[in-house]
């Protein structure tokens, strides 16, 4: 499905989406509150069937955080990037680990490195860092005089 077709189908699901086409793939910006319903729809819609979440990450823009989901469809081979702006003081977004199981680990990683709270995640314990760790290392304002080496 071409980018134009994708856009029209996605706008049908959620008229509030904004799109960017400057990069390699179509980017859809979505509000965190509407993210879950969009995710469910694009996963289950038969003409889209975005079943392969190959990358899930977060970017700290200092003023806010952006969740980035890279999706592809194994049957149609079209790509979509979904971005969602989160408030950096209280970042919260619905989990998609029940839609794409791979999101389970990726969300846990993001949660501890960026401090994003994934609502309804089944098991949001620390995966990588020690349990008693405080702070979110991949945030831009993170300082750790002991473990970080300045180049």
Partner 1 sequence: MIEELMTTEQGDLVINVGPQHPSTHGVLHLVITLNGETIKKVEPHLGYIHRSIEKMCESLSFRQFIYVTSRMDYLSSHINNHGCALCVEKGLQIEVPPRGQVIRVLMDELTRIASHVLWWGALAMDVGAITPFFYAFREREAINDIMEETCGARLTMNYMVPGGVMFDLHPNFQKKVHEFIQLFKSKVDEYDELLTNNVIFKARTRGIGMLSYEDAISYGCSGPTARASGVHCDIRKLYPYEVYSGLQFEEIIESGCDSYARYVVRMKEMRQSLSIVEQLIDNIPEGDFQAKTKAVLKLPKGEFYSRVETARGEFGVYIVSEGGMTPYRIKFRSPGFSNLSALDHMARGQKIGDLVAIMGSLDLVIPDIDR
- Gap between the Cα atoms of 65 and 116, Å rounded: 9
Binding to partner 1 by CB under 8 A, coded x per residue (else -) over 35-54, reads ----------------xxxx
Query: Scanning residues 88 to 117, which ones bind partner 1 (CB under 8 A)?
Result: 100-102, 104-106, 109
Question: For the chain, what is the largest distance between any 2 Cα atoms, rounded to a whole number of angstroms?
Answer: 52
Selected range binding partner 1 among 3-11, 16-24, 29-37, 86-94, rule: CB under 8 A = 16-24
Total binding residues toward partner 1, as defined by CB under 8 A: 31
Is residue 61 helix, strand or coil? coil
Does 145 engage in binding with partner 1 (CB under 8 A)? no
Shortest CB 15 distance to partner 1, Å: 25
Q: Answer yes or no whether residue 19 interacts with partner 1 by CB under 8 A.
A: no
Mapped onto helix, strand or coil, the DSSP state of residue 99 is coil
Rg (alpha carbons) of the chain, rounded to whole number: 16
- DSSP-based three-state secondary structure for 121: coil
């Amino acid at each position: 499905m071409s980018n134009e077709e994708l856009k029209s189908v996605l706008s049908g699901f959620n008229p509030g989406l904004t799109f960017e086409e400057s990069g390699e793939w179509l980017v859809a910006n979505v509000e965190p509150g509407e993210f879950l319903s969009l995710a469910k729809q694009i996963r289950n819609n038969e003409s889209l069937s975005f079943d392969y979440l190959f990358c899930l990450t977060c970017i700290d823009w200092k003023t806010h955080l952006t969740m980035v989901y890279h999706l592809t469809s194994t049957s149609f081979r079209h790509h979509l990037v979904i971005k969602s702006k989160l408030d950096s003081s209280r970042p919260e977004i619905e989990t998609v680990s029940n839609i794409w199981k791979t999101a389970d680990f990726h969300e846990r990683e993001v949660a501890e490195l960026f401090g994003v709270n994934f609502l309804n995640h089944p098991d949001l314990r620390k995966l990588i860092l020690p349990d008693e760790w405080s702070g979110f290392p991949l945030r831009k304002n993170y300082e750790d005089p002991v473990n970080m080496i300045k180049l």
